Each structure stands twice: as structure tokens, then as C-alpha cells.
Amino acid sequence: MHKESHLLLLCVQQGAPSLVHSVPGAVGAADLLQAGNAEVLLTDVAADPAVVAAHVIEMLDEGERLLHVARRAAERARSW
């Protein structure tokens, strides 16, 4: 496991919602947590910084969604 993936898992176990790179073929956290199961939030971190920032701000405005993603990810991480 990559050091970054290990750190991500420690964070999600404590209930931190995570935003990960969503480009097909990317390796890492997206392999461990599934967006289809509402366990992680996705974005293209290689996109224009203004686009990424707008996406992050949009997600921060969705408090209930963040809580839901955080809970689902924590449940999955703790199951390992």
C-alpha cells in the first residue's frame, strides 16, 4: 500500500470525507474507496486549479453529503 493511501485510510477511519483523483487508470485511494458506494468524493485534480477550487467549494456547501460520505467511508475502512 502506498504511504498516501495508508494516510487516507487513517483519516477516513476517523470520519474525514475524502476527495480523490478521478481519472481512469489512477492508482491509489480510488482503488480502496468507491464513489459508487458514496465512500469518497471524486474530482480531476489535474484540471485547471480554478475548476478544482470551484468543485471543492461546491462540495463544502453540501454538508449533509459530506457527512454521509464520511460515515460510509469510515464504515468501510473500519471493516478492513
pLDDT of residue 53: 94
Q: What is the mean pLDDT of residues 36-48?
A: 86
Those residues with Cβ within 8 angstroms of residue 31's Cβ, 6 or more apart along the chain or in another chain: 5
pLDDT tier at 12, thresholds 50, 70, 90: confident
The cell numbers describing 63, all together, are 454538508
Q: Report the number of distinct structural domains present in the chain.
A: 1
Residues 6+ apart with CB under 8 A from 43: 19, 20, 21, 22, 52, 55, 56
Task: Name beta bridge partners: 41.
Answer: 19
Q: Domain range spanning residue 50?
A: 3-79
Tell me what the mean pLDDT of segment 18-38 comes to: 74
What pLDDT sits at residue 4?
63
